[in-house]
Amino acid sequence: MDEKRKARSTPAVLMEIIKEEGLLAPYRGWFPVISSLCCSNFVYFYTFNSLKSLWLKGTAPTTGKDLTIGFIAGIVNVLVTTPLWVVNTRLKLQGAKFRSDDIKPTTYTGISGKTYQLKFTTNI
C-alpha cells in the first residue's frame, strides 16, 4: 500500500501522480475502461429490456416492477462483466510506479491478451 498517498486528498494525489509519472498518467488504461464500459452498458440494457418485455407482457409498467427489473439486470451485469473490470484494473496499474517493494509490476498484452496476476509478497 502506498502509505504517503493514503491520507491525502484526491487532487493532491492526482497532482503528485502527474508530477512523478507525467501528464498522461491519469489516463493510463483508458481503452480498456471504454471497452469494459461498453460491454457493461450493453449487458445491462439488453437484460433490462429483455426482462421487461417478458415480465410485463400486456400489463402496465409500474415503478416497483421497473426497479425490480433494474435490480436483477444490475446483478446480471455485475456477474457477467466483473472479469472485464478485473483485467481493466490490472491494465491500468501497468506502468505505475509503486513505492512499496512488496508489489512487483507485471506486463500485460491487452484486455483480450494473456494476463498475469500482480504478485504481492509478504515478509512474515
pLDDT of 88 strictly over 80:
yes
pLDDT, tens only, 42-53: 999 999 999 999
Q: How many CA atoms lie within 13 A of 47 on its CB side?
A: 20
Q: Which of 11-20, 69-78, 79-88 has the highest mean pLDDT?
A: 69-78
31 confidence band (pLDDT: 50, 70, 90): confident
39 confidence band (pLDDT: 50, 70, 90): very high
Amino acid at 123: N
pLDDT of 104: 63
pLDDT of 38 strictly over 70:
yes
pLDDT of 98: 62
26 confidence band (pLDDT: 50, 70, 90): confident
Amino acid at 53: S
Please state, rounded to an integer, the average pLDDT across all residues of the chain: 80
DSSP string, the chain: --GGGTTS-HHHHHHHHHHHH-TTGGGTTHHHHHHHHHHHHHHHHHHHHHHHHHHSTTSPP-HHHHHHHHHHHHHHHHHHHHHHHHHHHHHHHTTPPPS-TTEE------SSS---PPEE----
Straight-line distance from the first to the last Cα atom of the chain, in angstroms, rounded to the nearest whole number: 16
pLDDT of 109: 60
89 confidence band (pLDDT: 50, 70, 90): confident
Q: Do residues 28 and 95 lie in contact, with contact meaning Cβ atoms separated by under 8 Å? A: yes
